[in-house]
Amino acid sequence: MGCIYNEKVERNIAPLLILLMVFGLSLLSVSYYVSEMGWDREVSTILDLFLTLVFLLAGYSVILKGRETYRYSIIGDELIIHRMTGEKNELVAKVKLHEIKKLHVKSHKTNLMGMIRKNYCKNVVRKGCLCEYQAEGGSKSFYFSPSPSMLNKIQTGLQAS
């Protein structure tokens, strides 16, 4: 095919911050209700420390997810996805275009299987395009957020192969 196309997608951190705030408020309410129930002061203090640690770990995870950028590339007959965090560049997916079975664009249905699929989208909450492909004797899939021009290039490559 001989096509070369690159695009970079940055993650949107706003939905993650909202989830983090809701999570923090729920931890505060649990801590308040434990203290109102009359538990021992030492147990309440240990629970507060544990809940604070969980909130800090969740906040650290949100900050790391917010710094991620994805680069989607079509080089020859391969779709290549890189995750970039600061100076670190990591290959996360490499799929030959003829191995792609289906490309579902913006499916708004939520299912349990969709929660465990790999997500290389710019928005963690709203999934983008679902790519199902054949690899190593099995079927795999992932979500990503391509632009309309990249989708056009992929579908042209699918028709050519």
CA 55, 89, 69, 116 dihedral sign is: negative
Domain boundaries, the chain: 3-11+68-160, 14-66
pLDDT of residue 75: 87
pLDDT of residue 127: 61
Q: Which fold has domain 3-11+68-160?
A: PH-domain like (2.30.29)
- pTM exceeds 0.85 for this model: no
Residue 127: in which H helix or E strand, if any? Answer: none
Chain centroid, CA 114 distance in Å = 11
Q: What is the mean pLDDT of each run of 10 residues along the chain (161 residues)?
A: 73 72 80 77 79 82 78 88 86 88 69 56 63 84 83 80 66
Residue 56 has, within 13 A of its CA and on its CB side, a CA count of 6
Question: CA 146, CA 144: separation in Å to the nearest integer?
Answer: 6
pLDDT of residue 54: 82
- Quick one: the chain helix, strand, coil %, rounded to 5? 45, 35, 20
pLDDT of residue 1: 45
